[in-house]
Amino acid sequence: MKSKKIKRTLASILMGAAASLSLADKVQGQIISITSVVINDADQGPPEIDGTNMVWSDNRAADNNLDIYMIDLSTLTQKQITSDLSDQLDPDISGDTIVWTHYQSKGNPNGSDIYKATDLDNDPPTISNISNSIFSQMHPRIYGNVVVWDSDESGDGLIKYIYKYDITTPGTPPVKISEDGVSAENPDIYENTIVWQQWNETDIDIYKLGPQ
């Protein structure tokens, strides 16, 4: 599980025309070393980490689409998770499960779903659609067995709702947890608490759903 006592910090650092991913080791809050772990001519998107496994999106494929990759930071062994002709991006990882935004056709800003990969030691891993909605689903985050994301239900980005889903209950629909008629997006989850941005009449606030 993701720990709040993180000893390693990941950063995306621009290097020329492409981006690389670097690992910073910290002891008592002080950076003691920075190591580049992913360097190639492609661009790497923002990384996420759980334990020694890190995930990110990468456009190294010949058709320049974004795929999801994983690296074991203890061995620097990389693995390609997706190879679809459309874009996959914004991944997150918890234990043996990776989630990401999967676009149904390349260059289409709409028509995205939330996908997950399990059995990460297999080649290929087991991949499935967990949102399967007529609306665009984006920004997934996972902790343990629970995934949260936002859903563009107005079709123009003006009204989004937060959903949560337990991956141990296949066939059960995701549950909407944010307020009707008020746009909410960019959720995150830790243990039993979910947080997100919510657009109110005059400003943007942070909301949470968790133990009282």
Report the Cα 68 to chain-centroid distance in Å. Answer: 10
Q: What is the model's pLDDT at position 189?
A: 96
Sequence-ordered list of residues with C-beta below 8 angstroms from that of 159, at least 6 positions apart, any chain: 152, 153, 181, 182, 183
Q: What is the model's pLDDT at position 36?
A: 74
pTM, whole model, 2 decimals? Answer: 0.84
Q: What is the model's pLDDT at position 22?
A: 65
Residue 141 confidence (pLDDT) above 80: yes
Over residues 111-130, the pLDDT tens digits come to: 899 999 999 999 999 999 99
Report residue 98 as tokens.
């990776």
